[in-house]
Amino acid sequence: MDVLISAAELADRFSDVRLLDVRWTVMQPDGRPAYLEGHLPGAVFVDLDADLADHSAAGRGRHPLPTPDAFQTSARRWGLNGGDSVVVYDDWNGQAASRAWWLLRAAGVSDVRILDGGWAAWQRFGGRIATGAVVAEPGDVTITSLDGLASVDINEVAVQSKWGDIRILDARASARYRGDEEPLDPRAGHIPGAVSAPTAENINADGTFRIPAELRERFNALGAGEGPVTVYCGSGVTATHQIAALAVAGYAATLYPGSWSEWSSDPERPVATGPDPI
């Protein structure tokens, strides 16, 4: 699976791809003002909260997956047609763009790449920049399911946690995994049996992904080579970055979309604290 594209490679293919700008961070969820100030020419803005989540789905975490119908509506509004090649990017080291990458791959769009290093890498490359909004001609892409990539619900994760036959990776910062702090969700700690695997360790200082050999070494040390892997984070956003990094390393992984925001909201679910899985 080809996951990444460099700024130089994108410049050579510029006329052949659809560009999606996914500016979003936890602290700055509205990325539209930054997009309007400057973006890759032709890039359509994607609102992560509106387009890549279904906030009407109560009790399933802070960013439940959208329905296939809703996601199709969004993708057509972005101008996507069947067979299109798509490049997604953000200004957060790929952590928001990976959510769009995961959903599009899950929806059956076969050629989706993350711009390695995102907006910053494009600027370092000296690529052309446009301002203002881009309104695409409506596309015709058909999305009937989000089953193209694996995902699990809270009950399936509970079974995995109990029996330990699947490696569960927690992509949040180490302090949140240990339970030292919890700025967003009801309880602090981690799913029992999960291993701490902060997303920040997937990238270099410039925000690009580490090379495949380094990522394989990282994930092998976390047990990814020993069997199936499930990944969660706070709300199912940055976990997709972990899944992208695993794919770069040559491993497939399953997403738990509800993630810690769903698990910690259920008082019946056990919580572990400290640096160890259990």
Active-site amino acid positions:
233
Distances (CA, A) of 235 to 160, 193, 265, 278: 19, 19, 12, 21
CB 199 within 8 A of CB 241: yes
CA dist 216 and 129 (Å) reads 35
For 153, the 3-state DSSP assignment is: coil
Distances (CA, A) of 28 to 36, 91, 96: 15, 11, 11
Paired with 130 in beta bridges are 39
236: left (phi over 0), alpha (psi -120 to 50) or beta: left
Type of residue found at 177 = Y
For 134, the 3-state DSSP assignment is: coil
Paired with 115 in beta bridges are 5
CA dist 203 and 195 (Å) reads 19
C-beta pairs of 32-35 under 8 Å, 24+ apart in sequence:
34/91, 35/133
CA dist 97 and 22 (Å) reads 5
270: left (phi over 0), alpha (psi -120 to 50) or beta: beta
